[in-house]
Structure 1
Amino acid sequence: MLDRRNFALAALAFGGLAIQSRATEKGLMPTAPGYGPLQPDPAGLIDLPPGFSYRIVSALGEAMSDGHRVPDRADGMGCFQLDGGKIALVRNHELQPRHGRDGPFGKAVTLPAEAFDSRAGAALPGGTTTLVLDPDSLAVETQYLSLVGTIRNCAGGITPWNSWLTCEESVDGPDQGVGRPHGWIFDVPAAAGKLVKAEPLKAMGRFVREAAAVDPRTGIVYMTEDRDDSLFYRFIPDVPGSLGRGGRLQALAFHDESIRDSRNWGERRIAPGSWLFVRWIDLDDPESPADDLRHRGAKQGAAVFARGEGIHWGADELYFTCTSGGAAKEGQIMRYRPSRHEGTDRERTVPGRIQLFLESTDPAHYSFGDNLTVAPNGHLIVCEDQYLDTVDNHLRGVTPFGEVYPFARIRVQTEPAGVCFSPDGKTMFVNLYSPTKTLAIRGPF
């Protein structure tokens, strides 16, 4: 039986499917007016709808409170409530070993004891920085290096225990001239106040990581992988909230075993708007010294996705992007609804479901979606990640019906990243990747 809430959700889902189906039949993407036409930014940085404004709260090279400097290549980011009414941003920096001069130390050879790895006596520059802000004035009260010694910290995810899971988009190791294998996830407390010791959560797997999302009900962590033949993973912790104490790593498979490929390249396997029941496959040897997790999982029947990237938990479901998915290879968005018995033996009788929520047919409407978040009104805000001769990356809004609209246009040749909202929903934060700028946007959300 449907209660009022589930009836409303069902009506919303069927209404959205009808809109998508009509648009798909015509070869079009469903669109919405959004917040109105974008207004040219006199500073030439970011165009926004009427009534919205922005300010830069942090930028490349600024001196931080710990004596280091703001690094480049700002990517995924999360926003947190702190004691005393303050808020914190934990921000990734997607730096590789060759980017030492773009890191927090500049030219200096620095190797903190907390660093995860080094090369030639210097800490690898990848990691995270943390900003503590006044939520009303947006003044930055302190900013500091919170993790270092990692490679290509791309995206991540917030946790119910007020920390940021930062993910390495690299499986480099000693063969590539660094000291240790990489490809891990690290847990950075939002209220650390200082550089934390980098401890890899190895039971959660080693692969070319992108992002993570935690179900606050179960503590299960869902993770994406940024490869053309990626899998979609979940980690069931032995002790919810204590990821370092071990658990089970699994990959998603479709219940219909005749479907193993979600990409819709060449042949459409999944129709936009359609739902599929899922099952989960156990993965052995999660530390994967041969970097073969996705190959082993696919052989066992796991579903293949086209560059899984940003992921975010909504009210009782999650969304994740597949950057180059779809017949046009312009991008897909998947929606996953867990079983009410998620992670237990009983989920076999009431399995979770996954939906191809959106598939782009027109790069002018949506192209190469990467990081994303769920806005207070239930819309998605998605960061585009394309580098063409024409500067044209946007923040795209997506309604619960799958309709797309432009929320912002970036006027410089870089990508928006790390989009997230303050806990009160009044401020949206977003990074401009390089040169690093972190913006705070306010308006009639």
Structure 2
Amino acid sequence: MTQSIDRRTVLKSSAAIAAAGPFAGLVAAPASARKAPRAFDLVPVPDARDGKVRLHLPKGFSYRSFHDTEATVTLNDGTTLPGRHDGMGAFEGPDGTVILVRNHEVNNPTNPFGPGTPYDARGGGGTTTIHCTPDGQVLNAFTSLNGTMMNCSGGIMPWGSWVTCEETVNGPDVGPDFTGASNVSLTKPHGFVYEVPASTDAETGQSARQPLRKAGRFAHEAVSYDPKGGHLYLTEDNFGFPSGFYRYTPPTHPRHAGKLLDGGWLHMLRVKGTFNAHLEGAQVAGTEYDVDWVEIGDPDPEFPYTPGQVAPTDNNTALTYVSSQGWAEGAAFFSRLEGQVYGKGEIFFTSTQGGGAPETGNEPNAGYGNGFGQVWAYDPKREKLRCVYQSPDKVTLDFPDNITTSHRGTLVVCEDNNEDNFIRGLSPEGQLWDIALNRLVSQLPTPGSNPPVFPTRYNDEFAGSTFSPSGETLFVNVQASRGMTFAIWGPWGRIGV
């Protein structure tokens, strides 16, 4: 997620302070990778679309960009593509093709994009579905969900659908969020997850546009599904407050239902023996915690309001309504949980600002967390939580966000910071290396510049990393108001991916 403030410049100087106080035994000094990072030189590579250099990649790799919304893009169903490309999932299409379901993280009340009856007549977010070749040539594309808000990331379901997440609690019953925009014109509550079937056909590829309400109303980021336990795991990116790691149990096992059903139970992770464990604080890589789960009694609140008037419930109260129920039972504190993926029996997820000194209170302006990022793994069979990696500094890894996993088990991590943004590889042993570097330059000159000045967009974040089912292509987005999608292919095994 991209915030409206410069998150790097507002990080507190306490990031370098050693952990102290009542949690000194729980956390330790910042830990770097267990092994030295691998070195693969990144070189300028021309885009197969038009020959312009937009990415730096290892030698031998190629890419094609598409759905570049610096110019107007119209999909096959007439949709004007809104930009803000974010989380994305890849599915097998016919004859070796690929189906992508892609989020659009549009916030604030506005008219929906695309055809079809939207969930909310004033929700500007949603998903589009793209049928393409493995090298990024678009065959068909259409709106598959509209009328939602701030669709950030999500997760791939093994029965062939994408679950998309709203990273907001906006609604007519909640006051303005961090943007200051009024919610009065909204017609439905937001802050939920929705299932979208993956299909090449615009009719069969439509979401029912019904939220899974019992999976919680909070600032969702991503989900992953454990095929053995039948649980849906959910991350929360609550920027200014402690974030939680959640588990949703559907009323019927999805293996039997063929989809996720509403009406189940929501729980929040707790570290055994430590009330409100400050996991946003510095960790030693490899540290494990025994955990259990506390139930959330009221996961999908609606707050009193008078239609047409500003709601009396402020946004911060709504943002913490669900998590505060878990905190009261001792649930763990994380910093801004974002990307998530299931791989080889574990749930991997990122903590974007984790790894510094533990917080002593909420940080609505600077972001909850003083570090440069962590990667965690949860083993549902053993019920253990493990710190896989913690960044020692902003140069090594700066604000990890969306993640995916390759066929070899390598994690592919997208950066979301305000300077150079990389895609990094991370081995299960905690070894980190570079895969790609954003080198976008705007096609549009700075207004009034003479001669024209074309600004760089190096600080536009990577998002939505997902491999094609064959593993030969990494699809990824640049998430900005003028978004873009890339298909990247090459000798992945040679660089350990």
TM-score by length of 1: 0.83
> Which residue number in structure 1 is paired with residue 23 of structure 2?
none
User: Please, which of 262, 278, 298 is the counterpart of residue 327 of structure 2?
Assistant: 298
- Whichever residue aligns with residue 422 of structure 1, its letter is S
Q: Secondary structure at the match of 1:243?
A: coil
The whole-number CA distance in structure 2 between the counterparts of 1:233 and 1:205 is 9
Q: Secondary structure at the match of 2:327?
A: helix
> Which residue number in structure 2 is paired with residue 217 of structure 1?
228
The whole-number CA distance in structure 1 between the counterparts of 2:279 and 2:435 is 28
The whole-number CA distance in structure 2 between the counterparts of 1:166 and 1:192 is 18
Whether contact under 8 Å (1:93, 1:154) holds in the other structure is yes
Q: 1:89 aligned to 2:131?
A: no
Whether contact under 8 Å (2:32, 2:285) holds in the other structure is no
What are the within-5 Å matches in structure 2 for residues 233-382 of structure 1?
233-241=246-254, 242-258=259-275, 260-264=277-281, 268=282, 270-289=283-302, 291=318, 292-327=321-356, 329-339=371-381, 351-382=382-413
Q: 1:259 to 1:143 in 2, by over 3 A?
A: same
Q: CA deviation at 1:362?
A: 1.1
- Whichever residue aligns with residue 483 of structure 2, its letter is T
Segments of structure 2 that go 5 or more residues without pairing to the other structure are 1-27, 47-51, 175-182, 304-317, 357-369, 441-456, 493-497
User: Please, which of 462, 466, 474 is the counterpart of residue 416 of structure 1?
Assistant: 462
Q: 1:322 to 1:238 in 2, by over 3 A?
A: same
Q: CA deviation at 1:99?
A: 6.1
Q: CA deviation at 1:83?
A: 4.4
User: Please, which of 425, 444, 448 is the counterpart of residue 397 of structure 1?
Assistant: 425
The whole-number CA distance in structure 2 between the counterparts of 1:129 and 1:305 is 31
Q: 1:59 aligned to 2:68?
A: yes
Q: Secondary structure at the match of 2:58?
A: coil
Segments of structure 1 that go 5 or more residues without pairing to the other structure are 1-23, 106-111, 340-350
TM-score by length of 2: 0.75
Whether contact under 8 Å (1:125, 1:151) holds in the other structure is yes
Q: 1:245 to 1:33 in 2, by over 3 A?
A: closer
Q: 1:27 to 1:83 in 2, by over 3 A?
A: closer
Q: 1:188 aligned to 2:217?
A: no
Whether contact under 8 Å (2:352, 2:374) holds in the other structure is yes
1:388-444: CA deviation from partner (whole Å, max 9, x where unpaired): xxx401101111210111111112321110000000100000001122111000011
The whole-number CA distance in structure 2 between the counterparts of 1:28 and 1:165 is 33
Q: 1:214 to 1:26 in 2, by over 3 A?
A: closer
> Which residue number in structure 2 is paired with residue 345 of structure 1?
none
1:121-143: CA deviation from partner (whole Å, max 9, x where unpaired): xxx220000001233x5422100
| Higher alpha-carbon deviation: 204-213 or 33-42 | 33-42
Q: 1:192 to 1:250 in 2, by over 3 A?
A: farther
The structure in which a higher percent of residues are helix is 1
Whether contact under 8 Å (1:367, 1:385) holds in the other structure is yes
> Which residue number in structure 1 is paired with residue 124 of structure 2?
125
Q: Secondary structure at the match of 2:324?
A: helix
The whole-number CA distance in structure 1 between the counterparts of 2:347 and 2:165 is 18
The whole-number CA distance in structure 1 between the counterparts of 2:41 and 2:296 is 48
Whether contact under 8 Å (1:184, 1:207) holds in the other structure is yes
Q: CA deviation at 1:97?
A: 3.0
Whether contact under 8 Å (1:125, 1:148) holds in the other structure is yes
The whole-number CA distance in structure 2 between the counterparts of 1:86 and 1:55 is 15
The whole-number CA distance in structure 2 between the counterparts of 1:28 and 1:84 is 44
1:267-299: CA deviation from partner (whole Å, max 9, x where unpaired): x5x432111111011111110336311111011
Q: CA deviation at 1:243?
A: 2.3
User: Please, which of 81, 91, 102 is the counterpart of residue 80 of structure 1?
Assistant: 91
Q: CA deviation at 1:245?
A: 4.1
Q: Between Structure 1 and Structure 2, how many residues are aligned?
A: 391
Q: CA deviation at 1:192?
A: 6.7
